[in-house]
Amino acid sequence: MIYYSIAAFAAGYILDLIFGDPYWLPHPIRFIGSLIGKTEKLVRKHVKNTPSSLIYGGAILVILVLIISTAIPFLMLYFLYQYLPWLGFIAESIMCYQILATKCLKVESMRVYDSLKNNNISEARYNVSMIVGRDTDKLDETGVAKAAVETVAENTSDGVIAPMFYIAIGGPVLGFFYKAVNTMDSMIGYKNDAYLYFGRIAAKLDDVVNYIPARLAALLMILVCPMAGLDKKGAAKIYKRDRHNHSSPNSAQTEAVCAGALGLKLAGDAYYFGKLHKKPTIGDETRQIEAEDIKRVNRLLYAVSLLAVIVLILLKLLVVKVMAAVI
Q: What is the pLDDT of residues 166-212, one digit of tens each?
A: 999 999 999 999 999 999 999 999 888 889 999 999 999 999 999 99
How many Å apart are CA 13 and CA 304, to the nearest integer? Answer: 13
Interstrand relation of 270-272 and 275-277 (parallel, antiparallel or unpaired): antiparallel
Q: Give tens-digit pLDDT for 221-275.
A: 999 999 999 999 999 999 999 999 988 899 899 999 999 999 999 988 777 767 7
The Cα–Cα gap between 296 and 258 comes to 10
Domain count across the chain:
1
Sequence-separated (6 or more) residues with CB below 8 Å from residue 319: none
Q: 167 is in which domain, residue-wise? A: 2-326
Above pLDDT 90, what percent of the chain?
Answer: 82
What DSSP letter does each residue of 68-110 carry, written as one string?
A: HHHHHHHHHHHHHHHH-HHHHHHHHHHHHHHH--HHHHHHHHH
CA–CA dist 306, 14 (Å, integer): 10
**φ, ψ for residue 2 (rounded to 5)?**
-65, -35
Strands 266-267 and 270-272 come out as unpaired
DSSP 140: -
pLDDT score recorded for residue 275 = 77
Q: What is the pLDDT of residues 31-78, one digit of tens each?
A: 999 999 999 999 999 999 999 999 999 999 999 999 999 999 999 999
pLDDT recorded at residue 132: 87
DSSP 161: I
Q: How many CB atoms lie within 10 A of CB 134?
A: 16
d(CA 125, CA 193): 26
